[in-house]
Amino acid sequence: MALGVKPVAVYDWQSFGAAHKGVGPWASELFGDAEPTILANVGDALDYEAISVLEPDLILNTRSAGDQAQYDRLSTIAPTVSPPAGTAAFGTPWATQTQLVADALGQSAAGAALVDTVQDTITAAAQANPGFAGRTAVAATKFGDAYGAYISGDARWDLLAALGFAPNPAVLALPAQGFYVPVSGEQVSAFDADVAVMFPIGYTLDELKADPLIASLAVVKDGRTVFLGADDELSQAFSAASPLSIPIAVQGITPQLAAVIG
């Protein structure tokens, strides 16, 4: 979309729904009158028959598990672009993904320029907030009966790192699963960094704030936490990690981080 190409179908990974044509609200207007087919999020499974019926010229599966069988099956439908070899499942960096898509569309130079523009936005925000540099931060969530924190390889943490923040050592001391660290109730104190960004998955923001373990943390009690609602545009942009969403996330989260750091 950022390169001026309207996909015929969108796998609605973040469940934006038909009202937003399967993409973030910051991008849906770029479709104009076009109505893409929205493929519902059903986890890792894909409806190959539904994709085949669309007769696509190209399939972009650039932020996926990198499953070879899935790639082989999609490639029988149309040329398919998957993550580079060695990429962690669902861990394709946004800049790599952007360039992969641009190359596949024959717009390599435009893709490189787009990456530079977004990088400049992040760099400008970091330079405008030198107080971020070296301060510890966590990007944390609660889902079901569990808690977790994101680390290098996840776009949410990577954005905080690009703004100058350092990971909280207590989080890094816990066993990771890829770019994610499961955190038990007994380990929630690992969220006590200089600053925290917290958002719920499957909960309301009020429910997250009412969690007694979350509420007991010094980073929360001292007002050093940026809370994002599950369905807020800022929270969605923070998680989407695309060239169109990252500027929204930077613009929205930077002043809140500056405010809680003081």
Question: Which residue segment(s) compose the domain that 196 sits in?
Answer: 128-261
State pLDDT tens for residues 110-144.
999 999 999 999 999 999 999 999 999 999 999 88
Whether residue 145 sits in one domain with residue 106:
no
| Cβ–Cβ < 8 Å for 39, 50 | yes
**Could you tell me what percent of the chain has a pLDDT over 90?**
90
- What residues pair up with 197 in beta bridges, in sequence order? 139, 226
Q: Is residue 2 part of a domain?
A: no
Q: Is residue 3 part of a domain?
A: no
State pLDDT tens for residues 61-118.
999 999 999 999 999 999 999 999 999 889 999 999 999 999 999 999 999 999 999 9
How many domains is the chain built from? Answer: 2
Q: Is residue 121 part of a domain?
A: no
Whether residue 102 sits in one domain with residue 139:
no
Q: How far apart, in whole angstroms, are the C-alpha atoms of residue 200 and residue 86?
A: 30
- What residues pair up with 195 in beta bridges, in sequence order? 137
State pLDDT tens for residues 177-220.
989 999 999 999 999 999 999 999 888 999 999 999 999 999 99
Whether residue 155 sits in one domain with residue 86:
no
Whether residue 257 sits in one domain with residue 132:
yes
CA-closest candidate to residue 98, choices 60, 71, 70, 67? 60
Whether residue 159 sits in one domain with residue 86:
no
Whether residue 222 sits in one domain with residue 103:
no
| Cβ–Cβ < 8 Å for 131, 166 | no
Whether residue 111 sits in one domain with residue 134:
no
Whether residue 232 sits in one domain with residue 156:
yes
pTM of the model: 0.94
Q: How far apart, in whole angstroms, are the C-alpha atoms of residue 234 and residue 247?
A: 10
Phi and psi torsions of 240, nearest 5°: -70, -40
Q: Is residue 120 part of a domain?
A: no
Whether residue 222 sits in one domain with residue 136:
yes
Q: How far apart, in whole angstroms, are the C-alpha atoms of residue 129 and residue 64?
A: 33
Whether residue 166 sits in one domain with residue 193:
yes
Whether residue 132 sits in one domain with residue 110:
no
* Structure confidence at residue 262 as a pLDDT band (50, 70, 90): confident
Residue 106, domain CATH: 3.40.50.1980
Whether residue 255 sits in one domain with residue 206:
yes
- What residues pair up with 139 in beta bridges, in sequence order? 150, 197
Q: How far apart, in whole angstroms, are the C-alpha atoms of residue 91 and residue 152?
A: 9
Q: Is the pLDDT of residue 43 over 80?
A: no
Q: How far apart, in whole angstroms, are the C-alpha atoms of residue 219 and residue 37?
A: 43
